[in-house]
Amino acid sequence: MTKGIFPLDQFSGLRTPFYFYDTDLLRKTLQIVKTESEKYNFHVHYAIKANANDRILSIINSYGLGVDCVSGGEIEAAMAAGFSADKIVYAGVGKSDWEIELALDANIQCFNVESIAELEVINSIACSKNKTAKIALRVNPEVDAKTHHYITTGLKENKFGVSMELLDKVLDRAISLSNIELIGLHFHVGSQITDLSVFNDVCTRINIVLKMVEKKGVSIQIINVGGGLGINYQDPNGDPIPDFARYFKIFNENLQVKEGQEVHFEPGRSIVCQCGSLITRVLYIKEGVNKNFCIVDAGMTELIRPALYQAYHLIENISSDEIAEKYEVVGPICESSDCFGKDVELNKAHRGNFIAMRSAGAYGQIMASQYNCRTLPAAYYSEDFK
């Protein structure tokens, strides 16, 4: 028996909780990303922070994307999955010396640099290795992403990027350093952006910065516009693939790109989110005062987004067709925040039913922890169940 995309019969022998990935959907999404970005000769680097599962990475690699990393561990994971180093960009406000060394030794494509202090350290490490580090300066464009404050990065108060006021000074320093080659500018204003007009604002700001930099006589080869395209958490079945056509078109129409300049993108969530679900079993239905708790065997350890960002995930009882009832769906972790949703309508739930937490392919498995001495969740793939 299958329920939607889920091969329920084959789930029955599996220990829960686990991640289930719809690899057909992942491939369809990647094909659209490829087709739509190639229309404009745009380059796409997958933001590996969203999901670094090796099977998922090797599928993404097979579509020819590059990777956006934020740690030495991510660079290692990308290379282990077969991505070539010249398609790896490395960002982050706090790069350690060993991570910079690793990136230089691997000859990655570009460091996205966020401060003068970091420029100087990269320069001296590159100097000691007799290498030149290619860098893009991350500019904080002060554009409001209109998303959750924890995942907003492009405002003055955020730790990310070089503020517009300091840009001139940082550019001067970058140009003056012997083992630094400034090749690009990098921008990223936030994540889960569903109001696409934000990207029009991003383009307007980037155009202003490009003019300013040009005036200084600095030539820019790469314009990296970051990631952030949001997905539909409310309706993963009806709207499984974000509107990449419209997204890339906005940049094509609004960004003033000069001959020879490349435009780079760093989508994470929009590529992998809808293909992943966290599958869990109902342990107990517990009667409370004025509500019933549906206690499942997955917790914030396997999917932390509801606890951390008050994020909504569609929750479905995929084992039952009985009339829906309301539950507070909670996990077994000893924290009150270990709650997946209040007033969740589920087909009447019984012990042993499978529950699917949808849209969990991004920032799900990768953010899992072992708190309470839990085992990290396993992953299964639809293509293995055929």
Q: Residues 335-364 vs ligand LLP: string with x where CB under 6 A?
A: ----------------------------x-
Determine which residue in the list 72, 141, 154, 227 makes contact with ligand LLP, applying CB under 6 A: 227
The DSSP result for 188-203, as a single string, is: --BSSB--THHHHHHH
d(CA 154, CA 145) in angstroms, rounded, equals 7
Q: Residues 292-331 vs ligand LLP: string with x where CB under 6 A?
A: -------------x---x----------------------
User: Contact at 8 Å (CB) between 110 and 69?
Assistant: no
Shortest distance, CB of residue 319 to ligand LLP, whole angstroms? 27
Query: Rg of the Cα trace of the chain?
Result: 22
17 lies in the site for ligand LLP, by CB under 6 A = no
Q: Residues 127-166 vs ligand LLP: string with x where CB under 6 A?
A: ------------------------x-x-------------
Nearer to ligand LLP, 99 or 327 (CB): 99
Determine which residue in the list 17, 228, 236, 276 makes contact with ligand LLP, applying CB under 6 A: 228
Shortest distance, CB of residue 263 to ligand LLP, whole angstroms? 14
Selected range binding ligand LLP among 5-13, 25-33, 36-44, 268-276, rule: CB under 6 A: 268-276
Residue 10: phi and psi, rounded to 5, are: -80, -15
Instruction: Specify the amino acid at residue 266.
Output: E
User: Contact at 8 Å (CB) between 47 and 68?
Assistant: yes
119 lies in the site for ligand LLP, by CB under 6 A = no
Nearer to ligand LLP, 240 or 267 (CB): 267
Determine which residue in the list 30, 44, 50, 75 makes contact with ligand LLP, applying CB under 6 A: 50
Selected range binding ligand LLP among 125-133, 246-254, 267-275, 350-358, rule: CB under 6 A: 267-275
The DSSP result for 25-67, as a single string, is: HHHHHHHHHHHHHHTTT-EEEEEGGG---HHHHHHHHHTT-EE
d(CA 147, CA 193) in angstroms, rounded, equals 6
d(CA 47, CA 67) in angstroms, rounded, equals 6
d(CA 83, CA 67) in angstroms, rounded, equals 7
Measure Cα distances from 342 to 211, 292, 315 in Å: 50, 10, 11
Q: Which residues of 59-96 are buried (b: 16+ CB within 10 A; e: fewer)?
A: bbbebebbbbbbbbebbebbbebebebebbbbbbeebe
Q: Is beta strand 18-21 parallel, antiparallel or unpaired with respect to 276-287?
A: antiparallel
Selected range binding ligand LLP among 8-16, 33-41, 206-214, 225-233, rule: CB under 6 A: 225-233
269 lies in the site for ligand LLP, by CB under 6 A = yes
91 lies in the site for ligand LLP, by CB under 6 A = yes
95 lies in the site for ligand LLP, by CB under 6 A = no
The DSSP result for 299-313, as a single string, is: -TTT--HHHHH----
Selected range binding ligand LLP among 96-104, 167-175, 188-196, 242-250, rule: CB under 6 A: 188-196
147, burial (CB in 10 Å: exposed 0-12, middle 13-18, buried 19+)? buried
66 lies in the site for ligand LLP, by CB under 6 A = no
Selected range binding ligand LLP among 44-52, 96-104, 279-287, 343-351, rule: CB under 6 A: 44-52
Contacts with ligand LLP by CB under 6 A lie at: 47, 49-50, 68, 91, 151, 153, 188, 191-192, 226-229, 266-270, 305, 309, 363
